[in-house]
Chains A and B, each alone.
Chain A
Amino acid sequence: MTISEFPPGLILVLGALLLPFADNRIRPILVLGLPLLTLAMVWRLPDGAFAVVPILDYELVLVRSDALSRLFAIIFSIMTFAGGLFALNQKRVMELVAVFVYAGSAIGVVLSGDLLSLFFFWEAMALASTLVVLSVGSDLSYRVSMRYLLVHIFGGALLLMGIVVHVFETGSTTFAAMEPSSLGAILILAGFLVNAGAPPLSAWLSDAYPEASYSGTVFLSAFTTKAAVYVLLRGFPGTEILIFVGIFMIFYGIIYALLENDMRRILAYSIVNQVGFMVTGIGIGTEMAMNGVAAHAFTHIIYKALLLMSAGAVLYMTGKRKCTDLGGLFQSMPLTTICGIVGALSISSFPLTSGFISKSMISQAAADEALIVVWFLLLAASAGVFLHAGIKFPWFVFFQKDSGLRPPDPPWNMRLAMILFAGLCIGLGIWPEFLYAMLPFPVDYVPYTVPHVVNMLQLLLFSGFAFFLLLPLMKRTLTITLDFDWLGRRLGKNLAIGVGNAIDTAWRSLLSGLQGGIMNVLDHMYRSHGPRGVLSRAWPIGSTVMWIAVLLTVYLLVIYN
């Protein structure tokens, strides 16, 4: 293995271990330099499989480089760099370490050429992201991170079982496209979907992400779900059920985001929504759809990080996170406002922003395949995205009423990170050919046609109207402190909310029921297995002699029959 074949993800993972020992002068150099080094390594990777390590009877392929895996590895490295820049003021080194291990493992996942190394990085990602949430150090973050871990251990267990069965069925550990018709592939698909935030376990995402620190959430938004998108794209393209799963996620995200009051939770729901678009595209599975998904994952990481950076900047400067407590910040935080708006326009696929050139490819793929219903739903969802993320977030945080807060713009490094990503959003929107050139399949798609642009503008215009018409209705949600009991009271009033609610309540009660159930079982077991329990009591001689007699008798009986 030469230096150039060293797995790029491991640079971040190993570099992370240096961070606690670096002092305050060297740490920024590491935080900014390691992602750049990784980016350079990924950029220079030729096609092929490298860093092949034989283990047992199989081979670990730590680096499988082709257009698709490089695309994801590149955006992950860029993300780590910008996120690191944004997080330079983060005083908790623990979080930085966790974030770097997390990012490195995510790059490891997308570069893995076989299922075993994929699983290894997958689990490392789950553990590291748990630590990102845990590093906040509050009681709440502890409980949230344990819930988060529980879901991901469950997902990991599904994946592991799937891999074992799959390897047994096919005799190969290579990670390639598979049909979800055998038990192994179905389990693997289920394990992937847990990380993508698919139903019925979507709630872990909005539950955990907003509880991380102002900088931690930025990282969390990028890696877990997009790594899941990558593995789905690689493993299950054209799997029809994914269309339904994706559409469900799209509307789940919209409805919940519209009801939400916490600015970062709005954005967390909108991750589910955006990943829904991608999962739908994977379900369609044509070359156009796959290109669209890859491009959308690329642009989504940028604008979602940008949105969360602007929200993080607000949180960092004001310490407040509920829409009801914020407002009027445009006067003193002009730069943050502008960057937030750029992000919001991108997520709404406004022409000349990155969202426009990527999401439209997925819709186009649906149209090409004559999936009329899917196409209409995607169109309707685009309007919904504009409502919840495109207008609601900037309007309530930066405009609406004046909250009286006058914080200045955040420190230089956070400003720089936001400017970088805002620039990328617009740059990719104007010159899409750079991104198109990196996509796995050749692109013959032109985003900027007159009907397309006019269509999109009409759609956005009318949903903008709708927002301000419905503003009184929207505002009403603001007078109530959004909490889960609130969801309970609204149940039955609105069917759409009701469906979402039912799922949420079911999730909560499942959790609490599970907890209660587990507690009962544990209590019971503690009585028999605990330090004072029957099975661990220390009166060995008598009982052992009895057991010897029992065993001897059993064996003799067995043998003399």
Chain B
Amino acid sequence: MISANMAALQVAVPLIGAPLCTLIGRGTRAWLFATLVTWFAFAMSIGLLVEVMQNGAFSYYMGNWPAPWGIEYRVDHLSAFVLLFITGIASVVMLFAYNSVENEIAADKHRLFYTAYLLTLAGLLGMAITGDAFNAFVFMEISSLSGYVLISLGRDRRALFASYQYLVLGTIGATFFVIGIGLLYMATGTLNLADLATRLPRLGENFVVFAGFVFLMVGLSLKVALFPLHLWLPNAYTYAPSMVSALLAASATKVGVYLFLRFLFDVFGIRFIIDTWPLAEIFMALAIIAAVMGSLVAITQINVKRLLAYSSIAQIGYIVLGISFVNLTGLTGAVVHLFNHALMKGVMFLAIGSVLMRVGGTRFVHIRGLGKRMPMTMAAFVIAGLSMIGVPGTVGFVSKWYLVLAAIERGLWPVAIIVMATSLMAVVYVWRVVEAAYFAEPEANHEIAEAPWPMVTATWILAIACILFGLTTDLTIGVAQSAAVMLLGGGQ
């Protein structure tokens, strides 16, 4: 009865796979095992999405304990979509990982690396699927702790410090999150999200609940790296191993946004919140600052990986901006941008990972003249760059289109113009890379070969997806729209 238990297997397989991975052996075997587990998880997520699209949302009760008492796994359009792209990106990244990890991480640490990776994956998937607040916290801790380990394994010694900073801040964020949950538990006596949603309105104006809400929001803002709580992100992304940067950029912050959406719309009910407090305006202001500041800082960076990290901060800004419009179009744009941004940032981090492997660095001096030496890798980077700018025919355009449209629907002309202006900034930072790669002469004259084929293949799978989902939007927009309808409807 695999189909009935898919929801449980989705998380359980990577979770149990992690300790098995240490036992199973070193090097190639560990990689192979982790890859198979990831692909299995991908297959499960496809199954879940198909199930949801056919029969609507459903729940799975752990150990057959019914909802408010046991742990509930809740699969609806939103969570299935998030599960799908996390496992999808992870599957591609694993293809990339073999050569990349071989190159960047000492051989005796490989199996520990893959173990930590599986734990991270299990944590991220758990956060996305669970319908239980405390369970979400547990999974958040699983993914974060193993994430710190992954980052600290970076080749650069600064990775250790970056990981330590992230650990301190991540722990603060998680603590705030658990304080928030604790306060909610105190007031309502339940941890189940759906149950919370029904009980909270009955309490009326309850300051314990309000405080819980604030703690949750601040904790999650840190997890998603929303300005001004983004400071942990650049170092973590810059110094982490290549495949970890790609994985975290594509998934970790996205799951944070997912929880953000869940609590804001499902649990508390967005109407209640925006009618009572000017929160949407605060989020919008922070999002705009994040988009502008992130893009500006990205322009001035000398390290491409760091540039990408700041660009991620700007993109988080777009996502939160879409949420802050609180209308169907904006929310659709935000949800679809979770996916679209994961794709394009994935390509860029993978491409730059290939550069790191072949050239030995990721600063602008290292990519000079690579357009000729590593044509496939750089071409993929350019495609993702065009998408980042929002050129029609790429996924980036789809997201920007919805964001701008949502801004106009709300009559917020200046916001629409700011979104377009930040696209121009993206032109500048993408162009800097293109200029260095295609128009500058290489520094040293030694031979640089194209990256090994699995890495190129992985990069190109995502690059092609960037174009494919930019042209055929039925799946992404369709699911995102259903998710947005559900979020807006569920809060009333």
Contacts and interface: CB of A to CB of B under 8 A. Distances in A.
Interface of A: 53, 55-56, 116-117, 119-120, 123, 153, 157, 160-161, 164-165, 168, 525-526, 529-531, 533, 535-536, 538-541, 543-545, 547-548, 550-552, 554-556, 558-560
The binding surface of chain B is classed by DSSP as helix
Contact of B297 (A533, A539, A540, A556): A533
B300 interface: yes
A529 B210 contact: no
B279 A160 contact: no
Contact of B235 (A535, A538, A556): A538
Given A540-B231, A540-B232, 4 more contacts: A165-B408, A168-B408, A529-B296, A558-B278
A56 B402 CA distance: 9
A105 to B, nearest CB: 12
A555 B217 contact: yes
The binding surface of chain A is classed by DSSP as helix
A157 B299 CA distance: 20
Lowest 6 A-B CB distances belong to which pairs? A540-B231, A555-B214, A120-B392, A547-B228, A530-B300, A529-B297
Given A160-B420, A164-B408, A533-B300, A544 B282 contact: no
B302 interface: yes
B297 A161 contact: no
B279 A558 contact: yes
Contact of B416 (A164, A525, A529, A539): A164
B21 interface: no
B440 to A, nearest CB: 12
Contacts of A117: 392
Given A526-B300, A556-B211, A536 B234 contact: yes
6 contacts: A56-B477, A540-B232, A541-B165, A552-B214, A555-B217, A558-B277
Nearest to B390: A160
B45 interface: no
Interface stretch (B122-130, B138-146, B168-176, B244-252): B168-176
Interface string B373-417: 000000000000000000111000010010011001100000011
Nearest to A531: B302
A116 B471 CA distance: 12
Contacts of B408: 164-165, 168
Nearest to A556: B214
Contacts of B477: 56
B81 interface: no
A540 B420 contact: no
Contact of A548 (B165, B172, B282, B401): B172
A60 B222 CA distance: 41
Nearest to A134: B439
Interface in B268-311: 277-279, 282, 293, 296-297, 299-302, 310
Nearest to B214: A555
Nearest to A169: B408
A529 B229 CA distance: 16
A540 B391 CA distance: 34
A551 B221 contact: yes
Contact of A559 (B168, B210, B401, B424): B210
B297 A536 contact: yes
A471 B197 CA distance: 89
B36 to A, nearest CB: 36
B492 interface: no
B198 interface: no
B473 A540 contact: no
Interface in B206-223: 207, 210-211, 213-215, 217-218, 221-222
Given A165-B408, A548-B172, A559-B277, A55 B300 contact: no
A558 B222 contact: no
A297 to B, nearest CB: 26
B485 interface: no
Contacts of B486: none
A158 to B, nearest CB: 11
Contacts of A550: 228
B427 interface: yes
B424 A120 contact: no
Given A164-B416, A541-B168, A548-B218, A531 B300 contact: yes
Contacts of B293: 529, 535
A555 B408 CA distance: 28
A403 B397 CA distance: 56
A55 B218 CA distance: 38
A539 B231 CA distance: 8
Contacts of B310: 536
A119 B392 CA distance: 8
A547 B229 contact: yes
Contacts of B398: 56
Contacts of A53: 471
A544 B229 contact: yes
A164 B228 CA distance: 31
Contacts of B473: 55-56
Contacts of B297: 529, 533, 535-536
A529 to B, nearest CB: 5
Max chain A C-beta neighbours (<10 A), residue from B300, B391, B416:
B300
A56 B234 CA distance: 34
Contacts of B210: 559-560
Nearest to A94: B438
Given A119-B392, A161-B420, A559 B213 contact: yes
Contacts of A157: 420, 424
Contacts of B221: 551
Max chain A C-beta neighbours (<10 A), residue from B222, B231, B424:
B231
B214 A559 contact: yes
B277 A545 contact: no
Contacts of A544: 169, 172, 222, 228-229, 231-232
Interface in B421-466: 424, 427
B254 to A, nearest CB: 20
B99 to A, nearest CB: 27
Contacts of A119: 392
B35 to A, nearest CB: 33
Nearest to A525: B296
A56 B416 CA distance: 19
Nearest to A120: B392
A531 B416 CA distance: 29
Given A526-B300, A548-B229, A56 B401 contact: yes
A548 B222 contact: yes
Nearest to B427: A153
Contacts of A529: 293, 296-297, 299-300
A189 B404 CA distance: 21
Contacts of A551: 218, 221, 228-229
Contacts of B404: 164
B239 to A, nearest CB: 10
B317 to A, nearest CB: 14
A161 B420 CA distance: 8
Contacts of B405: 164, 168
Contacts of B409: 168
A153 B391 CA distance: 12
Contacts of B232: 540, 544
Contacts of A552: 214-215, 218
B235 A540 contact: yes
